[in-house]
Chains A and B, each alone.
Chain A
Amino acid sequence: MSEKNTTQGKAQKRRSRGRWRALLTPLMAIVTALILGAVVIVVTDTSVYDAFGEGFGAGLLRIVEVVVTAYGSFFAGAFGDPARMVRGLSTWITTGDGSDWVQSLYPLTETLRYATPYIFAGLAVALGFRGGLFNIGAEGQYFIAGLTTVFVGYSLTGVPWFIHVPLALLAGILGGAAWGAIPGYLKAKTGAHEVINTIMLNYISFRLAEYMLDVGGPMARGDGRPVSPVIQPSAQLTQFFPSNPNIRFNVGFFIALLAAVFVYWLLFKTTIGYEIRTVGQNPRAAKYAGMNVPRTVVLTMALSGGLAGLAASHDILGVIGFMPNSFSSGYGFDAIALALLGNSHPFGVVLSSLLFGALQAGARNMQAIARVPLDLTDILQGLIIIFIAAPAIIRALYRLRTPDEGEGAVMTRGWGQL
């Protein structure tokens, strides 16, 4: 008996060590992506070639200068400048003027703000994956939720914020959920594959938004532009730094964290999550166990759509304040990568969203300071995903040991099953 216990203990220790090692691969993937990104920055910078014209030493120096400037501004844009934070904090303490301190936090808040819709959308796709469904429609659900949330946001007047904000959020959830439930229903009742249907519904949602918002459309502002009216102040998500309107970090981030905890609880601690996961892992076994597979599929897609909808609610109620017809953000597609990166685990999604948020915020600063095009983020994101999807490359590169088998990634089943 005691022998059995020690083996169990050892196994557990091995497992926790394995978990740390599991983090090493993504970390090295990020580092490798940054190194390759540096190569791209250097070879696309004409000043490097000019410097090499002056001499080899000058060229090398220029390479270092280019990379340091680029990534310096990148990290400063993603996490802030520690020196400036310290200075800002001391000014605040000594003079009571906290504006420098707040401003020094701006990069960090941008990272969190970019991460917020990523968390929602990533959770949406991850939940779908857990339920065996490939929701490529997060982008469309985001659009529809944008319409419903902005409508409640601007049309409802004279209600206090503690009613208006929840109502507007709910509108976003319901809009996204309804749009997600459609392909869920089609899958459950007719077996039509959700990949096809969510893609098709994306197009429909784009055109529907165009119709609603175009000049003369039912939801157009009426100033000759294809944009919605601005939401009422009572529908705005609480901003944390009202003294500095450039900082748009708002309560939405914490709603996103709550959503992640909720999804975790739902998936792993409730009978509903048990049904979702069972249908996702083995629909035949789910049917055998007496679960209502079609209902679970519809529910999963609706929940997924609702989460994607919250991304739109955050952007409208917390950041933009209205909805333009070109609302597209690409979140729906990045979300697939986020879910994969996070192994479809809610907390993994939060981590990968923070990473992507930092990439986005850092890239904007890198563009402004180092004049490196924003497209570099796409390259970095792409490289990170490739390295994480094909960890063998990273392991070969750094001679890491193969982790224990059996912790496969959660993905959907193949085509046409259920």
Chain B
Amino acid sequence: MLKKLWVLLSLVLVTTMLVGCGGGGAGGKLKVGMVTDMGGVDDKSFNATSWKGVQRAIDELGIDGSYLESKQQTDYATNLAQYVNQEADLIITVGFLLADDTADFASRYPDTNFAIVDFGSLGDNVRGLTFSTDEAGFLAGYAAAAATKTGKVATFGGINIPTVAIFMVGYEYGVNYYNQQHGTNVEVLGWETAANDGVFVGNFESTDDGRRVAETFMNEGADVIMPVAGPVGLGTAQAVKERGNAWVIGVDTDWTVSAAEYKDVILTSVLKNMDVAVFDTIKAVQADDFAGFNGENYVGTLANDGVGIAPIASGAVPAGISDELEQIKADIIAGKINTGWAEYSASLE
């Protein structure tokens, strides 16, 4: 029994060793590789959204796209090296934690194109994909102020970093703008731009934390909550759904689609269309028109639909509000309304 097994095993080993290093290029197709951060590709957040952009490019542009997941900090370089060795034409890294490794590889492989989600440029062959989510957050804040019955709306974040806080900045400014326009006095719990401080749960994983914070906010009278913390927000949605009488604002993607089980309590979602940014970037590389080569980055705004908000739940806000939001959007694009970015940047200094 044992002997046979050994023979079989060594046979399998030898064949696998021989075959193992095969796997050539896909011939002619643009080869795009995406490296996720530790959240993994099914994080229902920015890794997933970015991957959606690659998938769309596979369908519409006929490229050869794939991803590699990372489980720890040291995996980023391992995965980048994999794609470099496979001679990928474009390597997309997701998240600012990959910035150091992306910069290192970009400098060592000047002929490869890189793009990094949520970080500015790191060199001539790197396109930074960033988003003015304060603009979209502003619209969400305005809608929240219109929807509240208690006069208190809330938000919280995962970790206090700019890509998270910027949602909350816009949200606060949007609420204040509503107060100014309608003479109301809606209060924002959980964030204060001037102090650069607010409520942060300290992670992007614990749905329990999301539930706990939501319950605290609801006990304090808030009836709209915007969790900017990836999957943590699902705990918030669950708590709100159980309690009723309150709304959740989704972030990154349209939660009525990505978290459909909580559809009833979702007021709207702040869309950070990373898939659009990723798709645009792939398209640009395919057309040999990579803006990153000139150190020019992609900035998602309301103007280029890189950010936006999802349709507002019907009946949640008074009739005229959607028209007002259209007008505000136009004003933001035109630069007539301040969404708080400047003040926030100043507070970081």
Direct contact of A and B (CB under 8 A): yes
Chain A interface residues toward B at CB < 8 A:
31, 68-69, 71-76, 81-84, 106, 110, 113, 207, 210, 214-216, 224-227, 230, 245-246, 248, 315, 319-322, 324-330, 364-365, 367-369, 371, 373-374, 398-399
Q: Which of A106, A321, A324, A374 contacts B97 (CB 8 A)?
A: A324
Residue of A nearest to B74 (CB): A319
Whether, in the assembled complex, B108 has its beta carbon less than 8 Å from a beta carbon of chain A, the answer is yes
Binary interface encoding of chain B residues 1-21 relative to chain A, with 1 for a CB under 8 A from any of its CBs, else 0: 110010001001101111111
Q: Which of B21, B72, B84, B108 contacts A72 (CB 8 A)?
A: B21
Q: Would A326 and B5 count as touching, CB distance under 8 A?
A: no
Question: In the assembly, what is the distance between CA of A110 and CA of B17, in Å?
Answer: 17
Residue of A nearest to B38 (CB): A326
Question: In the assembly, what is the distance between CA of A319 and CA of B72, in Å?
Answer: 12
Chain B interface residues toward A at CB < 8 A:
1-2, 5, 9, 12-13, 15-23, 38, 66, 68-69, 71-75, 77-79, 81-84, 86, 96-97, 99-100, 104, 108, 159-162, 196, 202, 348
- What distance in Å separates the Cβ of B345 from its nearest Cβ neighbour in chain A? 9
In the complex, what residues of A have CB within 8 A of residue B77's CB?
Answer: 246, 248, 319
Given contacts A69-B23, A72-B17, 18 further A-B contacts (CB under 8 A): A31-B5, A68-B12, A72-B16, A73-B20, A74-B20, A76-B20, A81-B17, A81-B20, A113-B74, A226-B159, A246-B81, A246-B84, A315-B73, A320-B74, A325-B159, A326-B73, A330-B71, A367-B69
Question: In the assembly, what is the distance between CA of A325 and CA of B72, in Å?
Answer: 12
Residue of B nearest to A224 (CB): B162
- What distance in Å separates the Cβ of A110 from its nearest Cβ neighbour in chain B? 7
Q: Would B16 and A71 count as touching, CB distance under 8 A?
A: yes
Q: Which of A74, A321, A330 contacts B72 (CB 8 A)?
A: A330
Question: In the assembly, what is the distance between CA of A319 and CA of B162, in Å?
Answer: 27
A81 and B96 in contact (CB under 8 A), knowing A364-B78, A374-B71, A399-B1?
no
Q: Would B17 and A82 count as touching, CB distance under 8 A?
A: yes
Could you tell me the dominant secondary structure of chain B's interface residues?
Answer: helix
A72 and B38 in contact (CB under 8 A), knowing A225-B161, A326-B73, A330-B72?
no
Question: In the assembly, what is the distance between CA of A399 and CA of B4, in Å?
Answer: 14
Q: Can you show 25 pairs from A to B with CB atoms below 8 A apart?
A: A68-B12, A68-B16, A72-B20, A74-B16, A82-B17, A210-B159, A214-B159, A215-B161, A215-B348, A216-B196, A227-B97, A227-B100, A245-B108, A319-B74, A325-B159, A326-B97, A329-B73, A329-B74, A330-B71, A364-B75, A365-B82, A368-B83, A369-B20, A369-B23, A398-B2
Q: Would B202 and A207 count as touching, CB distance under 8 A?
A: yes
Residue of B nearest to A399 (CB): B1
Residue of A nearest to B200 (CB): A214
In the complex, what residues of B have CB within 8 A of residue A315's CB?
Answer: 73-74
A68 and B19 in contact (CB under 8 A), knowing A215-B160, A324-B97?
yes
Question: In the assembly, what is the distance between CA of A225 and CA of B165, in Å?
Answer: 12
Q: Would A321 and B100 count as touching, CB distance under 8 A?
A: yes
Q: Would B161 and A226 count as touching, CB distance under 8 A?
A: yes
Question: In the assembly, what is the distance between CA of A106 and CA of B81, in Å?
Answer: 10
A322 and B159 in contact (CB under 8 A), knowing A315-B73, A329-B72, A330-B72?
no
Question: In the assembly, what is the distance between CA of A69 and CA of B22, in Å?
Answer: 9
Q: Would B348 and A83 count as touching, CB distance under 8 A?
A: no
Question: In the assembly, what is the distance between CA of A367 and CA of B202, in Å?
Answer: 30
Q: Would A210 and B202 count as touching, CB distance under 8 A?
A: yes
In the complex, what residues of B have CB within 8 A of residue A371's CB?
Answer: 66
In the complex, what residues of A have CB within 8 A of residue B162's CB?
Answer: 215, 224
Question: In the assembly, what is the distance between CA of A142 and CA of B234, in Å?
Answer: 30
Question: In the assembly, what is the distance between CA of A54 and CA of B77, in Å?
Answer: 40
Q: Would B17 and A75 count as touching, CB distance under 8 A?
A: yes
Q: Would B5 and A230 count as touching, CB distance under 8 A?
A: no
Q: Which of B16, B81, B82, B99 contacts A75 (CB 8 A)?
A: B16
Q: Would B23 and A73 count as touching, CB distance under 8 A?
A: yes
Q: Would B79 and A398 count as touching, CB distance under 8 A?
A: no
Q: Would B73 and A368 count as touching, CB distance under 8 A?
A: no
- What distance in Å separates the Cβ of A14 from its nearest Cβ neighbour in chain B? 20
In the complex, what residues of B have CB within 8 A of residue A369's CB?
Answer: 20, 23
Q: Would A76 and B104 count as touching, CB distance under 8 A?
A: no
